[in-house]
């Protein structure tokens, strides 16, 4: 089997911390290789060692039959990299970014223009080619970084979390492009936490846990070795020992949720009572019975304002009826006497 990437006892330490602990990778040419592991397992550190961003503490590496320690430029001319932090120049436009990458790789001007145009159209970035990268969304930056990695037509592509923070439309475009790249004979080395995408795209798998490579091989062989019918998520959790992990009870969180639910129910009940009070009809007044003078049996009379002749109005000194009578009396007193 011809390998695009091979390592022997690759090791990287940071002081007393062992980030990568003597792993032996074997990535076949033309494969879609998924490199999985929990957070902090050593995935990004491994990619940085393989692409020359970090120097390995010990071990040997061969990439496309080239020793990167002997010919690092030769390796960089044949690989493309999409790092986790993208590493784009924000004060360049999308078109200027691809032009810069193409000139660094020594592409002829005509070939550079043709490839840049094709990649911008394929990534749906043609209309934003003249915009600054600083104004790009996260998904647009991911697609531009992938376009820059593909521009020199590499034979091996390293992708560190290319689907993180990408919407469904951009994710589909990236998946179709990567599948086409592999079908054309390229090799992809992918790290991702989205296991559904890895399961759909990858045909080979490597799993790293606490710096050690705990599993590697074709996807079909891993499925056969761990049990028929298991999903990649179940296989992965079994390999890293996470299926046995238990969560703390956290009764305080459950109590808070119950209390919040009871409070909402109480507020809803109060709103219903308030609504019923507001919608109730106004109180009515019964008419006098038939034995009452002026009363009519079986009928209700509407409530009327007290008249001027009512006892209540006559007993009040501030009654409007009495004030009106006094004003009329004063006007009559001021009227001149009639002469006969």
Q: What is the pLDDT of residues 269-311, one digit of tens each?
A: 777 777 666 666 666 555 555 444 544 445 555 555 555 454 4
Residue 248 tokens, joined: 């703390």
pLDDT at 286: 55
Residue 117 tokens, joined: 């145009």
Residue 337 tokens, joined: 């006497």
Q: Tell me which residue has tokens 């459950």.
A: 254
Beta bridge partners of 206: 35, 216
Residue 129 tokens, joined: 């080619």
Per residue in 91-124, pLDDT (tens digit) is: 999 999 999 999 999 999 999 999 999 999 988 9
The helix (run of H) or strand (run of E) holding residue 233 is helix 232-239
Q: Which domains does the chain have, with CATH numbers?
A: 3-78+155-243 (3.40.50.300), 90-153 (no CATH)
pLDDT at 316: 47
Cα(164)–Cα(171) distance, integer angstroms: 9
Task: Using the predicted structure, report yes or no on whether residue 232 has a pLDDT greater than 50.
Answer: yes
Instruction: Give the other-Cβ count within 10 Å of 278's Cβ.
Output: 7
Question: 189-199: buried (b, 16+ CB within 10 Å) or exposed (e) per residue?
Answer: bbbbeebebbb
3 state SS of 241: coil
pLDDT at 326: 57
**Cβ within 8 Å of residue 259, ≥6 positions away:** none
pLDDT at 313: 45
Cα(56)–Cα(11) distance, integer angstroms: 6
Q: What Å distances lie between residue 220 and 38, 89, 235, CA to CA?
A: 22, 41, 12
Question: 37-66: buried (b, 16+ CB within 10 Å) or exposed (e) per residue?
Answer: bbeebbbbbbbbbbbbebebeebebbbbeb
Ranges of beta strands (E only) in the chain are: 3-14, 17-23, 26-28, 32-36, 58-63, 79-82, 156-160, 187-191, 204-209, 212-218
3 state SS of 194: coil
Cα(132)–Cα(135) distance, integer angstroms: 5
Residue 21 tokens, joined: 């602990």
Task: Using the predicted structure, report yes or no on whether residue 57 has a pLDDT greater than 50.
Answer: yes
Beta bridge partners of 205: 34, 217
């Amino acid at each position: 089997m011809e390998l695009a990437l091979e390592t022997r006892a690759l090791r990287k330490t940071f002081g007393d911390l062992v980030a990568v602990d003597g792993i032996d990778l074997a990535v076949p040419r033309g494969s879609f290789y998924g490199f999985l592991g929990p957070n902090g397992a050593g995935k990004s550190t491994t990619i940085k060692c393989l692409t020359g961003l970090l120097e390995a503490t010990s071990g040997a590496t061969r990439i496309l039959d080239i020793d990167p320690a002997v010919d690092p430029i030769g390796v960089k001319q044949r690989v493309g990299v999409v790092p986790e932090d993208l590493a784009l120049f924000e004060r360049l436009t999308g078109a200027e970014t691809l032009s810069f990458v193409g000139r660094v790789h020594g592409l002829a001007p005509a070939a550079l223009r043709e490839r840049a145009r094709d990649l911008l159209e394929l990534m749906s970035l043609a209309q934003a080619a003249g915009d600054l990268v600083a104004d790009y969304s996260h998904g647009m930056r991911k697609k531009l970084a992938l376009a820059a990695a593909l521009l020199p037509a590499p034979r091996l592509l390293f992708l560190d979390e290319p689907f993180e923070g990408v919407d469904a439309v951009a994710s589909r475009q990236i998946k179709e492009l990567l599948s086409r790249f592999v079908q054309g004979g390229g090799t992809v080395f992918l790290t991702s936490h989205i296991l559904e995408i890895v399961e759909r795209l990858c045909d080979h798998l490597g799993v790293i846990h606490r710096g050690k490579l705990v599993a590697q091989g074709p996807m079909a062989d891993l499925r056969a070795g761990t049990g028929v019918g298991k999903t990649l998520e179940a296989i992965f959790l079994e390999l890293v020992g996470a299926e046995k992990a238990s969560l703390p009870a956290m009764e305080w969180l459950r109590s808070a949720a119950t209390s919040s639910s009871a409070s909402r129910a109480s507020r809803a009940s109060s709103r219903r009572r308030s609504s019923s009070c507001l919608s109730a009809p106004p109180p009515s007044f019964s008419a006098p019975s038939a034995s009452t003078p002026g009363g009519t049996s079986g009928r209700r009379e509407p409530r009327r304002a007290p008249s001027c002749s009512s006892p209540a109005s006559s007993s009040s000194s501030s009654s409007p009826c009495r004030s009106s009578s006094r004003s009329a009396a004063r006007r009559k007193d001021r009227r001149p006497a009639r002469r006969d």
